[in-house]
Amino acid sequence: MDNQFVKFVVSATLFLFGMVSILLLTVSIHEIREPPEYTLRTSYGIVLDAGSSHIALYIYRWPADKLNGTGVVTQHSECHVKGGGISSYAGQQGAAGHSLEACLKKAKRDIPPDRHHCTPVYLGATLNRMTLRLYGQENSLYTHSYLCYGKEETLCQILAYLVEMTKKAPDLKKYLKDYCAVAVYIQVLMFRGYNFDERFFPKRFSMLQAGEASVGWALGYILSVSSLLPEEPVGIRKGLCPAAWIGLLILLTVLFTATFCYIALLVIRRERRNEGVS
């Protein structure tokens, strides 16, 4: 009878401790979102600014889980291609691609290898159509120009207009050559491109850099595109409050100690019983 009572008490105690442990693990648990810095889930994007006078490669990054569905974009690095713009490689097959090799190698170093396969690449150019040779065959690439014309195209249009005007008024030729075409381009960019008017124009100025990041259309473009990319799931961790963790630790310690003592007691009783029989 004593042995049965002891077994019942031990079984009930173990069952009670087990139920309390399960309750502590389920009731007092909290879900904790892992920060991107811990999970290293950072999305990257590449924007190629292929202008008529320059070529630049910008690398941007943002947390993969986003914030309110929008990527918090920061500039990771940038690389300016040596040489002229995209128009300077006209008629030179493969020359534009070779000029990008140094910047592409830098991009491979700057972006972690496990993010290479999911890093999008966007191309912006002032030309309406370019022919690229990919995978051994010719491919036509049509691009969208945000300003409709680049600086070089604008200067050519103004030059053509000035030549036409000199034919109408030959006496004004010596004055027309002194007109500042770049100032006209900036004015059109401010008024029509950025919708500034006469009230705000004196208070505004063109800023090319903010800190160490370049401020241009590439940054605005990646900001708009990052919201269209799918959001990666955030890692969830299960956490206990300190009181539940301490209580669970004490219960498990008592449980293991009682189990060890009970097993030791059974072994001692069996040895004594064997000695009495012999």
Q: What is the pLDDT of residues 29-78, one digit of tens each?
A: 666 666 544 445 788 888 888 777 778 888 888 776 665 555 677 888 88
> Which architecture does CATH list for 36-226?
2-Layer Sandwich (3.30)
pLDDT value for 93: 75
Q: What is the pLDDT of residues 230-275, one digit of tens each?
A: 556 556 666 767 777 777 778 778 777 877 787 787 778 777 777 7
Q: What is the pLDDT of residues 133-177, one digit of tens each?
A: 444 555 444 444 444 445 666 677 777 877 777 777 666 666 555
Q: Residue 188 pLDDT more than 70?
A: yes
The token pair at 271 is: 């040895």
* Helices 151-168 and 181-188, packing angle to 10 deg: 120
pTM > 0.75: no
Tally the residues of the chain.
278
pLDDT value for 17: 73
The one-letter amino acid code at 201 reads: F
CA 63 – CA 44 distance, rounded (Å)? 9
CA 241 – CA 244 distance, rounded (Å)? 6
88: burial class by Cβ within 10 Å (0-12, 13-18, 19+)?
A: middle
